[in-house]
């Protein structure tokens, strides 16, 4: 529980009238899991050409609540007027099973003695993004804020302590995820020209490129409908 000291609006002494803010915060526990499988092989096609290839598979199910913790799942997020709390037990987002990330690398010796080599590679890389999901346990049914003007001093805080609830109206800020969340991913590629001098010196010039898709971002829906006292993030 956090209490913000009110600012007195009084001419003297310790009594008066002022704004009072009290936040009740309950502990929360969540479990975030991620699973990966990876296989790689190299094929020396000739004395000058080598091919390296691999395949990675990522599984990132939605975090699960533990103990008395409840995580909010939302429906109709694309229609703010109809946005509502999903039935209890609904996953925060739907698990996708097709997160496959291939990798490919090529090394080719441009000269017979192998002192000049061209290397190139490309691949898909997924970002699990589970760190942001911890925010789900910080607001919904875990916090309650009471803001009002009161007469001071306050002898008993009991009447001002609110019990967190999953019934509307919801708190000032509520975190949520799109039910159709896709894992953030990036496409990366590179090309390098490598020249060796003697046995210990190498000069390499490399080009590296990357582009991202479905990157995580925060969208704010201010007071989507009458069930919200603030914004859905």
DSSP summary character for residue 73: -
The pTM for the full model equals 0.71
| Strongest mean pLDDT among 39-43, 109-113, 144-148 | 39-43
**In a domain? residue 90:** yes
User: How does residue 2 score in pLDDT terms, banded at 50, 70 and 90?
Assistant: very low
User: How many distinct structural domains can be found in the chain?
Assistant: 1
CA distance 29 to 64: 9
Residue 7 within any structural domain of the chain: no
**Over 50: is that where the pLDDT of 7 sits?**
no
Q: 94 lies in which domain range? A: 29-142+165-232
Report which of residues 225 and 52 the model is more confident about: 52
Q: What are the tens digits of pLDDT across the range 31-57?
A: 888 899 999 999 999 999 999 999 999
pLDDT in tens, 152-198: 677 666 666 666 666 777 766 777 788 888 889 999 999 999 999 87
Report angle CA 40, 43, 45 to the nearest 5 degrees: 160
- Please determine, for residue 105, whether its predicted confidence score (pLDDT) is greater than 80: yes
Whole-number Cα distances in Å, 60 to 32, 85, 107, 123, 128: 8, 23, 33, 19, 7
Residue 169 lies inside a defined structural domain of this protein: yes
Residue 82 placed within a domain: yes
**Are 139 and 166 within 8 A, CB to CB?**
no
1, part of any domain: no
Tell me what the mean pLDDT of segment 2-18 comes to.
46
DSSP character for 104?
Answer: E
Q: Is residue 23 in a domain?
A: no
**Domain assignment of residue 154, yes or no:** no
Domain assignment of residue 16, yes or no? no
């Amino acid at each position: 529980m956090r209490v913000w000291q009110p600012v007195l609006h009084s001419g003297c002494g310790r009594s008066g009238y002022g704004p009072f803010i009290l936040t009740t915060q309950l502990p929360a526990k969540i479990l975030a899991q991620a699973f990966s499988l990876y296989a790689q092989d190299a094929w020396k096609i000739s004395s000058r050409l080598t091919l390296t290839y691999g395949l990675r598979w990522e599984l990132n199910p939605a975090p699960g609540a533990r103990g008395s913790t409840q995580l909010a799942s939302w429906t109709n997020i694309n229609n703010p007027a109809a946005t509502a709390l999903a039935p209890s037990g609904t996953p925060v987002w739907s698990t996708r099973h097709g997160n496959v990330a291939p990798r490919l690398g090529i090394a080719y010796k441009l000269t017979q003695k192998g002192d000049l080599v061209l290397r190139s590679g490309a691949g898909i890389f997924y970002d699990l993004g589970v760190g942001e999901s911890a925010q789900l346990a910080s607001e919904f049914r875990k916090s309650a804020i009471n803001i009002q003007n009161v007469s001071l001093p306050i002898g008993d805080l009991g009447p001002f302590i609110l019990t967190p609830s999953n019934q509307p109206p919801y708190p000032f800020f509520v975190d949520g995820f799109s039910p159709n969340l896709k894992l953030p991913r990036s496409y990366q590629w590179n090309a390098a020209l490598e020249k060796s001098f003697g046995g210990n010196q190498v000069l390499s010039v490399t080009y590296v490129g990357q582009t991202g898709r479905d990157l995580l971002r925060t969208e704010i829906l201010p007071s989507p409908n009458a069930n919200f006292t603030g914004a859905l993030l």
